[in-house]
Chains A and B, each alone.
Chain A
Amino acid sequence: MMRARWNRGILGVGAIAVLLFSGAAVPAQTLHLPPHEKVVFKNGLTVLLLEKRGVPLVNIAAIVKSGAAADPAGQEGLATMTAGLLRKGTKKRSAQQFAADLDYIGGTFEAEAGPDYTSISEEFLTKDLARGLDLFSDALLHPAFSQGETEKLLAQSQDEVKAAKDDPQTVILSYYSGYLYGTHPYGRPAGGDEVSLKQIRHDAVVNFYEMNYAPGNTIVAVAGDFNAAEMKAKLEDVLGAWPTRTVKPFVIPAPSPVKGKKLLLVDKPDASQAYFAIGNVGVASNDPDRVAIHVVNTILGGRFTSDLNEALRVESGYTYGAESFFDQRKMAGPFAIFSFTKNETTTPAIDLALQVLDKLHKNGVTEEQLKSAKSYIKGQFPPNVETSRQLARIIATHDFYGLGDDEVNQLEARLDAVTPEIARQVIQKHFPAENLVFVVIGQASSIGPAVKKYAANEDARPISDPGFWPPPIAVKH
């Protein structure tokens, strides 16, 4: 059993911000994204190609520009189910045959829906290129969506959603997003909940695919050990034939931050530790202040020596880890402070987290803190662009979010431009102070009375109740 001393990005969210916003260069050697090419096929499909020699692997990643935010209310999890079913049988392969063909070449296939988009990716050896591309296009273009496989996956997912509640760390963001965004699409659980998954019908999956999966609504990025010209021709063969279909782009409305303070207490009677998330609506991925925000958040809660981890772990021993993150999305994603502590120290730990946030507002950041955070971001960045898998994802998401190579290539300069004054403005504008949403998962009988002090408005739910927040709604078919 491994016992890492610090789970970097305890909730696994921080990485997104790093990929999009960390940047470039260390003394003497400036890091640039390798050259890559963009073409748009006649059917409207956007194709990005990046040669990366050395390791004989190819990674291909598609972004379908519709994700969980496009799920109809009451059918949360629909985008996720649709993605999950792509490999569960195609027009020419059964689910078993697909698995056998993929495993035979040691390939990996991943398909999942995030809030903004669905990503489908595959990785295989260069020598298996023909087989690899055939499998990829087969799943993306010709899924069978059989009744039997659909029901099987839905039943499995219902159990998984239920089982996930045994570990508060894996579900706290679902409660937090719901409580923060309410009925806005970003409030919906991407994987669905116990009720919504029962309400998804087979024809809804087929319909979601038809409404969203189309060449004009898709970006395909391929990176790895190949010749770009040859690869382009091969992709034209397998993906160029995908018939054009008109897709109405899904528009996510701009979310509004929560005013005032409110607290949701999720009761888990057997918990010996309380888990908490505190924050408000953050920023969109293309926010002009994104680099300065990344620097300030690194200081607040984005590394081991961050102010939050110093206070809650290093100095007080309240917790194994404390962090803060901005989850950047098409529209403003959540900002949160996250940590956990034993039941007895719940309010001291939350008090301390609030003090750290308050101090950031009062004192801003020093020149020295800025210098350290900038070095940290620069020094830790290169391993994010080391593999073809990472590069395929980066160029695909940049294209999706309308960001350019300068996110990487100019980031050193952008980081250097952040001054204490700019940081002060960014803190005031983007880091919440008075308006805060609290979500606490823990043993209500022991921590409930004490956490009331954080907000006049309080809501409560047992963790065993189906769904997250708001309570799931029944839909009529």
Chain B
Amino acid sequence: MKTIRLGWLAATILCAGLLGATVAEGQQEFPVASRTLKNGMKVLVQTDHSIPNVALYIFYRIGSRNERPGTTGLSHFFEHMMFNGAKKYGPGELDKVMEANGGSNNAYTTRDVTVYQDWFPRSALSLIYDIESDRIRDLSLDPEKVKSEREVVASERRLSVDNENSGVLDEQLWATSFIAHPYQWPVVGWMSDIEHWTMADLKHHFEMGYSPNNATMVVVGDVSAEEIFKLCETYIEPIPTHAPPPPVTTVEPEQVGERRLVVHKPAQLPLLMLGYHVPRTDSPDFYAMNILRTILFQGESSRMYQRLVDKDQIALDVSSGVEPAFDPSMVEVVAQPKQGVDPQLCEKAIYEELERAASTAVSDTELEKAKNIRLVEFYRQMRTINGRANTIGTYEVFFGDYNKLFDAAKNYSAVTKEDVQRAAKTYFGANNRTVATLVPENGEKVKQ
């Protein structure tokens, strides 16, 4: 049983893909064909005939970081609207036609990107291109659909934030840790913004984010690169380009002292979350930081599990997560204290372990273990067409080049004990942290 369901679960899967594999294996097993269309969209294709299916991902470089107060959650809402009708496939038709032809779809929105996913048998290939081009070019924003979808998103917010303790605390943590940069507001948006954005806001968002030159398409599965490029020429290339989102210029000022926040809420158990500012994903410290987090948090032999769960027995679970990000972002640490345990006890134990990692080098065995874990996770991610589509796209978008995927193993094996120690020292200091605690408040509902 999972005690807390972390908002970054999916992101952790993404990150798992950013890890490991030898160069030779990578290139041999996963050749990728690449072409940039005349309208600027980059298309990456990987052939794999092991199942008669295809995974198609489109990454748009637009997320909640491109929003502003008053329209928070708009990227995510727009993601929903991309399923609610265009010129050829009207409201509800996209899903009906796709499922009737054996396909399914989904999408996700993060602070940085909006990603659309189609999974289908190869027999549905041209249909999928017809559908995708229709909605990229000719999305219709029907006022009735906007109205009902607003309610759906409000329900989603109630489900994943209001009625989930880790959701509430996570939201407050980002809002406190970031005071200037747009990472401070939640992807799903504040409820009052969900209730108030306008048709004009939606139209502006589409103009800004959904230009072909702001997108990367990744196709993996039972296809050839030639046939995909040909389909792209027919369906995607004629779509006109427009101006991409204006750059996000706000730089979060350095945090120079601990910040603390408390959430009082009816709950069975307290919850502790810590946030530490870290550089953007393509920074050189990415690999050392992941090795450090593996040593500290991954598996029952990890330092934090051994200390908090096994030895001190003060927590049920302790974990860490980070999402791919274009701008300097945040590593989160979550601990679920046991019943009757003051969350500050967990805090103290975590700080001691972080301090130990900063003051003393990790052992050779720990370093080797962490590298092995990253390697196996890489294989786990790359063994499905879906995992590969997501991983290739993530490298392309967040590291600027899918080829970096093939350097990951080299980059991990180059990480030294000194790198790990330096990462701990640089990022896990007291001045750089924000501490969020959920304090259970039982009894009748407090009227707001």
Contact = CB atoms under 8 A, between A and B. Distances in A.
B72 to A, nearest CB: 13
B268 A165 contact: yes
Contacts of A314: 92, 148
B10 A125 contact: no
B125 to A, nearest CB: 11
A5 B155 contact: no
Contacts, number: 255
A371 interface: yes
B263 to A, nearest CB: 13
A387 B147 CA distance: 42
Interface string A279-320: 000000000000000000000000111000010011111111
Given A160-B3, A163-B268, A464-B442, A387 B159 contact: no
Interface residues of A, number: 82
B316 interface: yes
A224 to B, nearest CB: 10
Contacts of B187: 1-3
B156 A320 contact: yes
Contacts of B268: 162-163, 165-166, 464
A158 B339 CA distance: 9
B432 interface: no
A230 interface: no
A386 B51 contact: yes
A27 B120 CA distance: 12
A39 B391 CA distance: 39
A28 interface: yes
A1 B158 contact: no
Given A3-B187, A317-B149, A320-B152, A103 B301 contact: yes
A137 interface: no
A350 to B, nearest CB: 15
Contact of B373 (A29, A103, A303): A103
Contact of B383 (A3, A6, A57, A270): A57
Contact of A342 (B53, B158, B338): B158
A161 B156 contact: no
A27 B103 CA distance: 13
Given A28-B123, A163-B336, A342-B155, A317 B299 contact: no
Contact of A99 (B96, B299, B386): B299
Contact of A26 (B1, B102, B106, B156): B102
A362 B102 CA distance: 27
Nearest to B155: A320
A226 to B, nearest CB: 15
Given A1-B188, A272-B162, A382-B53, A99 B108 contact: no
Nearest 10 Cβ contacts at the A-B interface: A379-B102, A106-B376, A317-B151, A317-B148, A99-B300, A372-B100, A103-B299, A2-B10, A26-B121, A99-B301
Given A5-B106, A124-B376, A316-B151, 8 more contacts: A1-B323, A96-B310, A160-B316, A163-B3, A163-B316, A170-B2, A313-B152, A379-B124
19 contacts: A1-B187, A1-B323, A2-B110, A2-B187, A5-B107, A26-B52, A106-B375, A156-B313, A159-B269, A160-B3, A168-B163, A272-B163, A304-B99, A305-B96, A305-B99, A317-B147, A319-B155, A379-B102, A380-B104
